[in-house]
Structure 1
Amino acid sequence: MFLPEIGYEYGYPASTICNYVFGVRAWHILHGVPWEMCPEEIESLLKAANRLAPPSSKRKKRQPFTVDYLTTLRCGLNLESDPLHIAVFTCLTTTFYTAGRLGEFTMKTLKGTNGFNPETHVKPSDVRVEKDEKGLESTVFFLPRTKVDQNGEEVSWSKQDGLTDPKAALQLHMATNKPPVDGPLFAYRVGKTQMKPLTKAKFIEVIHAAADEAGLDHLQGHGIRIGSTLEYLLRGVPFDVMKVKGRWASDAFQTYLRKHAQILAPYMQARSHQHEGFVRIVMPAVRG
């Protein structure tokens, strides 16, 4: 019965309380100690904790990056002569247009176990260009290891119109920084001889400084993936196609369908050939 009080009295968010509860449950299981808590009771207590938690304990919703945001942010970067800024902008556009995760294209640290590892981090040798039978071109990135697949996954983008074109950015990055073929893809030059891999912390630092320069709000890294999903959906990319492109394996993908009227509008008209596709995505499977 103390779970709601933890949130109310001490300001813990419901997610933290939930982690504590299931951590204790895991301890019981690992040590062969009976876990006598009723699942229904735990669920009710966690819901109560969520309701009683103060607003200050709840994380603000992540705002999405948009093409307009990227275009304006570009004005706060020196893409004429700063190798770091060029690497950051290229990483940003590649992450955005592949609907990737920022951590898949950056390093956690420069050294140690979280530093660059050619077996786990993307390299220039992991990039290739493919054309389909109609001659449509895509640039494909093989990610040697991801958070959901230890054997690696592939993501891709195609050339875009405007100042956020990832192809133009990648060409500039490769020409300016010349990252080693089997080194980190988004390495940047420091002086005439030294190369540094782009870390997530350095990426965020540069992006926030550029946002200040351009008069923009600070956005968080995960907002890139959210913004990419919204951008493609607003362009009319089918839900099932976007789910594959974004490698969404859970129902979290449906969050984007519920909260944005612009995305739903084509599917809510009196006569719409898109009804069937929408229903197929959002309706739960029939249970046998």
Structure 2
Amino acid sequence: MFVRAWHILHGRPWKINSDEIEAALEGASKLAPPQSRRPKRKPFTPTILSQIHEHFDMTSSLDVAVFACLTTIFWSAARVGEFTLPNLKAFNPTKHVKVSDVSHSTDRQGNPVTRFRLPHTKCSPTGEDVFWAAQSGVTNPESAFQTHITLNKPLPHEFLFSWNNTANQRRPLTRTKFLERVNKAVTAAGLEPLQGHGLRIGAVLEYLLRGVPFDVVRVIGRWSSDAFILYLRRHAVIIARYIQDTPYHQDFIRYTMPPVR
């Protein structure tokens, strides 16, 4: 893709056959040695979030910001980079989420939801919306977020997850600091190290295991394709309820299946 872009930018003819390129890439993928592939990311779960919560100090500015960010990323099935910065000087109010980008609403049944407007994402330069709703227990993103707002008091046009260091200097939460603190809590809880993408994977699995329809999960995770189905193929526990002898939840079936004509 980048080579083709170079040709276009420099006015050079692109004479490569697309079918040949696709076949070559597919062949290279199949011939690649196993050690060249990244290990599969292990998913976070609500249970893991509960276990590591015990190792956060909820009076610490950093810990409060990290745990609020952690639960927001998980329950909105977001990417770590959408709620953290690559470095301390990277904040751009036109591209990064701010306090003023947070809003609240309810549906016709009175169900509340919190909305985060992401001004810019890697898949949408014009921005996207992500949501979460209150959950039970210590992983509740609503209570974690309110604790962060109360303690750290980010200003309306400040980076959403900002905190104060020991010298009382204002700091936006970077990806490195976020993952460093999360992994420290994971280690303290006696758990295996987890990767940041495991949050997004874990959210998908959690919602599917709750019986949320596949199409709805795709909307939550903002997939424009069926790429997320790859998660399903690796987790038989999700498919289990749909292949039993007794059909699972008739109302669910009527909702997801088109009417017979």
Using the size of structure 2 for normalisation, the TM-score is 0.88
1:269 corresponds to which of 244, 254, 260: 244
CA deviation after TM superposition for structure 1 residue 94, in Å: 0.4
| CA RMSD between the two structures | 2.2
List runs of 5+ in structure 2 lacking aligned partners.
none
SS in 2 for 1:251: coil
Residue equivalent to 1:60 = 39
- Aligned mate of 1:32, from 4, 7, 12: 12
Which residue in 2 is equivalent to 1:93? Answer: 71
Contiguous gaps of at least 5 residues in structure 1: 1-21, 281-288
Read off the aligned partner of 2:53 and give its amino acid letter.
Answer: R
Query: Which residue identity does 2:66 align to in structure 1?
Result: V
Q: CA deviation at 1:192?
A: 6.6
Residue 230 of structure 1: CA displacement?
0.6
Tell me how far 1:223 sits from its aligned partner: 1.1
- The alpha carbon displacement at 1:276 in A equals 7.0
2:107 pairs with 124, 127, 132, which one? Answer: 132
Distance 1:36 1:205 in 2: 44
Query: 2:50 touches 2:139 (CA, 8 Å); kept in 1?
Result: yes
Which amino acid in the other structure matches residue 86 of structure 1?
A: V
Deviation of the 1:279 alpha carbon? 7.1
* Structure 2 match to 1:207: 182
Task: Please identify which structure carries the higher helix content.
Answer: 1
- Which stretch shows the higher mean deviation, 194-203 or 250-259? 250-259
Deviations 1:2-50 (A, max 9, x none): xxxxxxxxxxxxxxxxxxxx5445545554245255724x444434433
2:25 alignment partner, one of 21, 46, 68? 46
Residue in 2 that maps onto 1:3: none
Q: 2:204 aligns with which of 187, 208, 229?
A: 229
| Residue matched to 2:93 | 118
Q: Structure 1 residue 168: deviation in Å?
A: 0.9
Relative to the length of structure 1, the TM-score reads: 0.80
Percent identical across equivalent pairs? 48
Q: How does 1:1-288 map to 2 (within 5 A)?
A: 22-28=1-7, 30-33=10-13, 35-37=15-17, 39-40=19-20, 42-79=21-58, 81-111=59-89, 115-191=90-166, 193-272=168-247, 273=250
In structure 2, distance between residues paired with 1:103 and 1:226: 15
Residue identity opposite 2:127 in structure 1: G
- Residues 168 and 47 (structure 1 numbering): CA distance in 2 closer, same or farther, change over 3 Å? same
Does the aligned pair in 1 maintain the 2:4–2:14 contact within 8 Å? no
Partners of 1:117 and 1:74 in 2: CA distance: 30
Once superposed, which parts of structure 1, at least 4 consecutive aligned residues long, lie more than 6 Å away? 276-280
